[in-house]
Amino acid sequence: MRVLAVNGSPRKNENTAKLLKEALQGAEESGAEVRLVNLYDLQFKGCISCFACKRKGSTCNGICAVKDDLKEVLEYALSCDSIILGSPIYFGNVTGEMRSFLERLWFPNLSYHEGDFSTFHGTIETGFIYTMNVNEEIMTQAGYESVFAQNQSLLQLFHGNSEIFICNDTYQFRDYSLYEVSKFKESHKAKVREEQFPLDLKRAFELGKRLGTQSQSH
């Protein structure tokens, strides 16, 4: 059984990446074969609206026709039993790399036939880890949940359950004194990192363990 984690953060060893790696440990403990992809290592673009995947007689089979660094990742992703996505929130949405990845993942599997939603024939369970600097109250006021809900809805293209995982109030800098950030108190951020982030890591582990276990039931 395969579980893929996709890191949409430019950082490979910070909040989002740490949560994804913890989730993969949980999946691996469940007996799954795991893999981590860092999108910022790849050269690719979002959907270019070529419509090759929608042509009559297309042999795309749910895989974007564009040949770049993302093609092999997309092929692997659709062979998986579970996919765990992770992205920090920048200006109220996922990173540009994550959005481009999602366009390329979703569109070839979105049906243009009347009455149909998806052309995908299998089942892939998904989880989406969102990390952000803002606290839960500001997140709600800003309407971030509508973004999370839309992504969750589109992940139903793959016919599996889709979980939303939120990590608020993240620690952003190794040394806050080097930056102009008077809006944020380092003492508060440090307390959240010390008290809450370990709990978030445990939640991520359990998410991965669930997805690894669910994948084996298919």
Give the number of other CB atoms < 10 A from CB of residue 134.
Answer: 17
Coil, strand or helix at 91: coil
pLDDT at 214 over 80: no
From 117-121, 156-160, 174-178, the region with the lowest mean pLDDT: 174-178
Sheet holding 159-167, edge to edge: 33-38, 2-7, 82-88, 124-131, 159-167
- What are residue 36's DSSP bridge partners? 5
Q: Return the domain boundaries, the chain.
A: 2-216
CA-based torsion, 27, 96, 43, 105: positive or negative: positive
Are 39 and 118 a contacting pair, CB within 8 Å?
Answer: no
DSSP structural state of residue 101: H
Burial 182-211 (b: 16+ CB within 10 A, else e): eeeeeeebeebbeeebeebbebbbebbbbb
The CA distance from 134 to 168, in Å, is 6
Rg (the chain; Cα; Å): 18
DSSP structural state of residue 114: T
State percent of the chain over pLDDT 70.
Answer: 98
The phi, psi pair for 148, rounded to 5°, reads: -65, -40
pLDDT band at 106 (very low <50, low <70, confident <90, very high): very high
pTM of this prediction? Answer: 0.95
Q: What is the pLDDT of residue 132?
A: 98
* Residue written as token pair 């993302």: 70
Superfamily (CATH H level) for 2-216: Flavodoxin domain (3.40.50.360)
Are 23 and 5 a contacting pair, CB within 8 Å?
Answer: yes
User: What integer best gives the mean pLDDT of the chain?
Assistant: 96
- What are residue 217's DSSP bridge partners? none
**For 52-81, what is each residue's pLDDT tens digit?**
999 999 999 999 999 999 999 999 999 999
